[in-house]
Amino acid sequence: MTLPARDSYDLVVVGAGPAGMGAVAECAGQGISLLWVDEQPSPGGQIHRGLAAPLSALAGAYQRGLALLSAARAAQAEYLPGATVWQIEPGASLGVSVGGASRLVAARRVILATGALERPMPIPGWTLPGVMTVGGAQTLLKAQGLVPSGRVVLVGTGPLLWLFAAQMLAVGARPALILDTTPAGNARRALRHLPGFLASPYLARGLGLLRRVRRAVPVRRGEHPAIRPRPAGGLLIAWESGEAEADLILLHQGVVPHVHPAQAAGCALAWSEAQACFVPVTDAWGESSIPGIAIAGDGAGIAGAEAAEYGGRIAALQALAALGRIDAATRDARAAPLLAARARWLAGRAFLDALFLPKPAQRQAAPEAIACRCEEVSGAALRQAVRQGATGPNQLKAFLRCGMGPCQGRQCALTVVETIAAERGLSPAAIGPLRARNPIKPVTLAEIAAMPVSEADIAAVLGRR
């Protein structure tokens, strides 16, 4: 593991999922200095975890990722895996930590391709050992070949839940039960978006998958499950019309953009009603409200892996034009087919968003459920703080420390905002997001103190030339 070799770069791409790989691939042969940092030990992002050594049963799904990775490798970027970006300043200067040492690098352009995280599912018992996210279990399968065993219950809604059930079947495992929490009425609300979905490439893929899973796994419906430990060991999950014992419970109710890096850089966010989350404000090229910083892929709004690759490529073309490597006509000509391809995938998205959107009560913490996992704050405590005068997530920090634990609000921010909004009778847009501040990942003072300093740095601190 090595630190960035230089102090400054033409372009820094953060993230090595489809958007990051697409952005880097597009820069091949352009002669720019390009730093490519990723927090994970190997490229691919969450969708292509374990890309270096895919399991044979899942290898088919990696073909596109492998092709994209080899295109990205051809760009000869300085690729740093295991590198955590803990600071992004509008300048744009980035704090990068690798193996316990840090360095600040300056970038003329930055593309943030930091992807998505799973939407919190704050039900009673979601903090118990043996309860984890579907995405987490999928990571263990893809990267380490670990398959959930015993009585495995999948709980929630969204394409990933069904995909993972199908992947378990593909490797010879079988969930004991799927508890589908999709709100009644979603299908009706999604119907008006059906034409776009029918025209998108999602249709064939989704139908076959649902059929395979439904044939092999019992499916129950319930909108408000709760989990508790069994005295004899193991877990019990109960819902409106039933209960089941489980050894492992996997939760999922969709994914939302991971906005901390964009927020730290000062990029404006807006509330998306369709996806019920905050999304960075971007234009068609992915440019944020901060000059020089673009956001590509699911981090700019959930659109899936294919759209993310196109988004990364489109953002890179804009960066190359801004750096003077290509002219506007070349940029537009190269972007046209990418924009068209992305539009085909985006066309199917509104249907999926509407079909799988958890209802507000499923996105707020029930009084008896933990809202903030780090500081162990309950939904009841949250509501009481609102009645005592906490107006939003940033004021709430002073009351309850929500968002001040090690995850810095990544897990609780949306729950907190939506619960406050409901309690105050306002929209989440009116409440606004939890502010994320640098450093956006924990870094020790020793590591900051040990960073190399220039003569200019010393002069700045001493206040003389």
Q: How many CB atoms lie within 10 A of CB 60?
A: 10
- Which among 297, 329, 325 is positioned nearest to 311, based on CA atoms? 297
Tokens of 97: 């930590």
Calpha distance 354→186 (Å, rounded) = 6
Q: Which of 411, 408, 406 is nearest to 435 (CA)?
A: 408
CB nearer to other proteins: give 49 or 193: 49
Q: Is 309 in the site for other proteins (CB under 8 A)?
A: no
Instruction: Rule CB under 8 A: say whether 299 interacts with other proteins.
Output: no
Single residue of 29, 195, 208, 442 touching other proteins by CB under 8 A: 442
366/378 Cα distance (integer angstroms):
8
CB of 121 to other proteins, least distance (A): 11
Q: Which stretch binds other proteins (CB under 8 A): 143-151, 270-278, 283-291, 358-366?
A: 143-151
Check binding of 67 to other proteins (CB under 8 A).
no
Strands 248-253 and 131-133: parallel
Q: Does 405 bind other proteins (CB under 8 A)?
A: yes
Question: What one-character-per-residue DSSP string does 259-293 give?
Answer: -HHHHHTT--EEEETTTTEEEE---TT-B-SSTTE
Task: Give the shortest CB-81-to-other proteins separation in angstroms.
Answer: 10
Contact pick of 375, 413, 416, 431 for other proteins (by CB under 8 A): 375
367 near other proteins (CB under 8 A): no
Among 43, 44, 65, 148, binds other proteins (CB under 8 A): 148
Pairing mode, strands 83-89 and 177-180: unpaired
Interacting span for other proteins (CB under 8 A) from 87-95, 140-148, 302-310, 340-348: 140-148
Binding flag, residue 423, other proteins (CB under 8 A)? no
User: Nearest CA to 112 among 138, 143, 90?
Assistant: 90
Dist. CA 382–CA 188, nearest whole Å: 33
Q: What is the dihedral of CA 295, 110, 334, 64, to 10 degrees?
A: -70
Q: Which is nearer to other proteins, 353 or 375 (CB)?
A: 375
DSSP 228-259: EE-TTSSEEEEETTEEEEESEEEEEE-EEE--
Contact between 404 and other proteins by CB under 8 A: the answer reads no
Q: Which is nearer to other proteins, 156 or 206 (CB)?
A: 156
97-136 residues near other proteins, rule: CB under 8 A: 117-118, 127-133, 135-136
Binding of other proteins at residue 91 (CB under 8 A)? no
Buried b or exposed e, range 157-193, using 16+ CB within 10 angstroms: bbbbbbbbbbbbbeeeeebbbbbbbbbeebeeebeeb
Q: From residue 344, how far is each of 277, 358, 388 by CA, in Å?
A: 23, 25, 48
Extract the tokens encoding 419: 């619960």
Q: How far apart are CA 270 and CA 109, in angstroms?
A: 23
Residue 201 interacts with other proteins (CB under 8 A): yes or no: no
Shortest Å, Cβ 448 to other proteins: 16
Shortest separation between residue 408's beta carbon and other proteins, angstroms:
8
Distance CA 19, CA 46 (A): 12
Closer of 304 and 348 to other proteins (Cβ): 304
Answer for which of 61, 147, 443, 451 binds other proteins (CB under 8 A) is 147
59 binds other proteins (CB under 8 A): no
Q: Which stretch binds other proteins (CB under 8 A): 20-28, 51-59, 154-162, 316-324?
A: 51-59
- 171 makes contact with other proteins (CB under 8 A): yes
Rule CB under 8 A: say whether 376 interacts with other proteins: yes
- Nearest Cα to Cα of residue 417 among 371, 384, 376, 374: 371
Kindly state whether residue 50 participates in binding other proteins, applying the rule CB under 8 A: yes
247 binds other proteins (CB under 8 A): yes
Cβ proximity to other proteins: between 39 and 78 the closer is 39
Q: Identify each DSSP E strand in 4-63 by its residue range.
A: 8-14, 34-37
Told to check if 406 binds other proteins by CB under 8 A, we report yes
Give dist(CA 109, CA 54) in Å, integer: 33
55 interacts with other proteins by CB under 8 A: yes
Residues near other proteins (CB under 8 A) are 39-41, 46, 50, 53, 55-57, 82, 117-118, 127-133, 135-137, 139-140, 143-150, 171, 247-248, 258, 373-376, 405-407, 410-411, 442
